[in-house]
Amino acid sequence: MPLHYANLRNHTFPERTQAYTEKDVMLYALGLGFGADPMDMKQLRFVYEKNLQVLPTMPVVMCHPGQWVKDPKFGVDWLKVVHGEQWMNAHKPLPPKGTVIVRMHNSAVIDKGEGKGAVVIQEREVLDQATGDLLATLGWLLFLRGDGGFLKLPHNASAPVDKAPPSPPPLPDRAPDAVCDIGTSEQQALVYRLSGDMNPLHSDPEVAKAAGYPKPILHGLCTYGIAGHAILKSFCDYEANRLGSLAVRFSAPVYPGETIRTEMWKAGNTVQFRSRLVERDVVVLNNGIATLT
d(CA 114, CA 122): 22
- Report whether pLDDT(151) > 80: yes
CA distances from 230 to 56, 113, 180, 235, 278 (A): 13, 37, 6, 8, 15
Can you give the pLDDT at residue 79? 82
Average the pLDDT over 223-252 and give the result.
97
Average pLDDT over all residues of the chain = 95
* pLDDT over threshold 70, residue 163: yes
| pLDDT above 70 for 1 | no
E-state strands within the chain: 16-20, 81-90, 98-111, 118-128, 134-144, 178-183, 243-250, 259-267, 270-277, 283-292
Q: How far apart are CA 207 and CA 1, in angstroms?
A: 25
**What percentage of residues in the chain have a pLDDT greater than 70?**
100
Segment 252-273 shows an average pLDDT of 98
Q: Which residues are catalytic?
A: 197, 202, 217, 220
How do residues 92-126 score in pLDDT, each as one tens digit? 999 999 999 999 999 999 999 999 999 999 999 99
pTM over 0.85: yes
pLDDT in tens, 170-195: 999 999 999 999 999 999 999 999 99
**What mean pLDDT comes out for the span 157-173?**
89
Does residue 117 contact residue 145 with C-beta atoms inside 8 Å?
Answer: yes
Domains of the chain: 5-292 (3.10.129.10)
Nearest to 90 by CA among 216, 242, 282, 287: 242
